[in-house]
Amino acid sequence: MSLTNEQKENFRQSFNQFDQDGNGTIDAKELKDVFHKMGNPVTDEVVKNMIESADLDKSGTVDFDEFCKMMIKYEEQGREQALKQAFTMFDTDNSGFLEEGEIKNAMEKLGNTVTIEQVKEMIKQVDTDSDGKVSFEEFKKMM
């Protein structure tokens, strides 16, 4: 896992908010308290699952390295979800693919004037199966 200094600092600040007793780990009570303070009360079961999924050394707590890995995972999941939402919004015929007209319309809605030739070139650059359409996997690579 390679983090920039800025990412490490941001993660450290977040970690310290959770690590209320300053012992270098986050336990279930600390995790639940922070969510409650943020206005997002969670059940003991949810907290238990979160700890278990992040606690790689099975200590029952989450240390800073485990916290960083968890945060990266959540950021990636958030990015994936945002891309799925965008793809669905652009896929106006719900075919599961983006075709020339859909891409052109989406680009124009975003304020970009493009020609069909430009759209064809965009598709060509990411269309790994040469079907003339953009699948979700191809869309992710494009984005």
Residue 38 has pLDDT above 80, yes or no: no
pLDDT digits (tens, 9 = 90+) for 50-93: 889 899 999 999 999 998 988 888 788 878 888 888 899 889 99
- Over residues 36-59, mean pLDDT: 87
Q: What is the pLDDT, as a whole number, of residue 99?
A: 95
pLDDT digits (tens, 9 = 90+) for 111-124: 889 999 999 999 99
DSSP helix/strand/coil, 59: coil
Q: Does residue 117 contact residue 100 with C-beta atoms inside 8 Å?
A: no
C-alpha 77/C-alpha 71 separation (Å) is 10
0.85 exceeded by pTM? no
